[in-house]
Amino acid sequence: MGNLSEEYPRKGSRSLFFKKSEWNMEIRRINDNEKGLKSWIKELTGKPADLLVPTAKFQHAYFGAFMDGKMIGFSVVLTSGKWILDALFVHPDHRGKGIAGKLTEVRIDFAKQNGAREIWYCCSDRNTASLLSHKGYKFAKVKKAAPEEAPEPSHWHKMDIT
Ligand SMILES: CC(C)(COP(=O)(O)OP(=O)(O)OC[C@H]1O[C@@H](n2cnc3c(N)ncnc32)[C@H](O)[C@@H]1OP(=O)(O)O)[C@@H](O)C(=O)NCCC(=O)NCCS
């Protein structure tokens, strides 16, 4: 697999802008050492850099969702032999506004642009919000996650790119 494209969604641009009646949002490809990234993750999860460690050994792309210059959401897509959507977080103050759905849209688009033939994500069977944020896509629930992959009952979901 070659290097992931540095310019997404197009040459010279790493940003996408989304607008709804109640918000304006930028989703931007962010660097591993982006200022504020680690502190934002720590504030949200209470686990310093935990989200970044498993990702870092694979080729990956982090995306941040920003409103009024502040990061309010974060997600990752990585390639570990297969393409995986991972680590999706939205700040509690901004949940239910469709932000996770947009972060998922962007990651799927990025994976497709980089040649993905199938895309996977693993999710707790109880995480309705996360499952719903993927529902616009043709994901199929394909196999149970092993206990070492997920602490609570979870499944892997797969989408074929046609
Ligand atoms: C999961 C998470 C990322 C969802 O973020 P979000 O921005 O609120 O999600 P969206 O607004 O895009 O919502 C997606 C769908 O779920 C629905 N939804 C959101 N929260 C919900 C809830 N608590 N219960 C039921 N449905 C919910 C929304 O209405 C939306 O459905 P719609 O498209 O039909 O309107 C967010 O709740 C979060 O950060 N949770 C903690 C971390 C986590 O669980 N990450 C996922 C790991 S797999």
Profile the chain (162 residues) by mean pLDDT over runs of 10 residues. Answer: 74 86 91 85 81 84 92 93 93 92 94 95 95 92 94 96 90
Binding pocket residue ranges, ligand 1, CB within 6 Å: 88-90, 95-101, 123, 127-130, 132-133
100: enclosing H helix or E strand: helix 99-113
**Considering the domain 15-116 in this protein, what is its CATH number?**
3.40.630.30
Task: Identify the pLDDT of residue 151.
Answer: 87
- Of 84, 83, 38, 43, give the one whose Cα is nearest residue 64: 38
Nearest CA to ligand 1 atom 36: 90
Position in ligand 1 atom list of the atom nearest CA 133: 14
Cβ atoms of 156 and 121 within 8 Å: the answer is yes
CA 101 to ligand 1 centroid distance, Å: 8
Cβ atoms of 157 and 139 within 8 Å: the answer is yes
Task: Identify the pLDDT of residue 2.
Answer: 59
pTM of the model: 0.92
Task: Identify the pLDDT of residue 129.
Answer: 92
